[in-house]
Amino acid sequence: MITEKNISRVINREIKSPICIGSLTDLHINKENFLSYFQPLFQSLENDEYLVKENQITFLKNNFPEDIDSITSIHKPYFEKQLDIQVLAPWTSKLTIEQKKQFSNISTVTRQRNISTFTIEKLENDYKIQRVLASSFKQNVNDFRSWKREFKQATKEAVENKLFYELLKKAFELVASKHPEICKLKITSHFMRTLTKGEVKGENSPEGMHEDGAQYIISALVVNRKNIRGGETQIFEKIGDNKELIFNKELELGEFAFQADTGEEKTFGNDLWHYVTPIQPIEMTEQGVRDIIGFDIEIVK
């Protein structure tokens, strides 16, 4: 596994905030069994329309700067599905033929997902894992991800099984290696598929370099890569107003990236951010996909 210590040696500067880049094999989880079980489950994810809505609003703001206040006023209610797409008509009706083509491209669904939340508590000789059902999801950040989003809950088949519980336990162990005193975590899981075809790129991180608003994250455990190039995981350290790239890797099947995410600069001294580059299809006429499992991790006690 690659850790913050390895990265420190490469960049010749100490990184204290936790980072771990590894594989299912490193976690003593059978890679073949894990991938063969979970890969088919990504076929049934729900379209993430929130990313489409955000792209549409950004596009209109860029093309109608004189109306930015009016567009901003409908941004959040449109995003949270209080208003339908007809609210955009005053601007979409004025688009040129080329702009309509661009608007159509950015309105293409390129992301699908579901979510599930668990608490995991370390007992004397075992773990207690409980599922927590939530009707909506927010992230503690300063962009559109802080608004309410409702996603389909993961099926029992996907997340209430021995393999997934084993992954939750390994996530606990990764955090406990830095905080041996902990006994309970809250983990929100994201099954996410990013899609690309033709000229339409699949944006893994449309918000750019970012934090996810959790104490720790597994930004991606890659379950499938098909007909794509790109999707490189990048980790940055924020120093003042600058963000310096300290690590980058195109994660392969069964590989994951774990890191401290929000508030770690107060605990460890380094302010880590992350990004994943867009994906594009190798064969332009065929769809490309990147499937990942991500975790947002909070220490409860």
Closest by Cα among 220, 231, 112 to 167: 220
Distance, CA of 296 to CA of 139 (rounded, Å): 9
Mean pLDDT per block of 10 residues along the chain (301 residues) reads: 96 96 97 98 91 91 95 91 93 95 91 95 92 68 63 93 97 96 96 94 83 94 97 95 95 97 92 96 96 97 88
Q: What pLDDT, on the 0 to 100 scale, is given for residue 205?
A: 79
Q: Residue 20, SS3?
A: strand
Cα 65 to its chain centre, rounded Å, is 30
* Residue ranges of the chain that CATH labels 2.60.120.620: 2-47+109-299
CATH number, span 2-47+109-299: 2.60.120.620
Nearest CA among 267, 269, 275 for reference residue 236: 275
State pLDDT tens for residues 178-227: 999 999 999 999 999 999 999 899 987 777 888 988 999 999 999 999 99
Q: What is the pLDDT of residue 296?
A: 96
List residues bridging with 204 in a β-sheet: none
Helix (H) or strand (E) holding 71: helix 68-79
- List, as one string, the DSSP characters of 175-193: HHTT-TT--EEEEEEEEEE
HEC string of 144-155? HHHCCECCCECC
- Token pair belonging to 107: 């309105």
**pTM of the entire structure?**
0.89
Tokens linked to 60? 């209109």
Q: Which pLDDT score, from 0 to 100, does residue 16 have?
A: 96
The strand pair at 279-281 and 233-239 is best described as: unpaired
Q: Which of 272, 238, 231, 274 is nearest to 255 (CA)?
A: 231
Q: What number of residues does the chain have?
A: 301
The pLDDT value given to residue 79: 87
pLDDT of residue 175: 97
| pLDDT attached to residue 131 | 96
pLDDT score at 146: 62
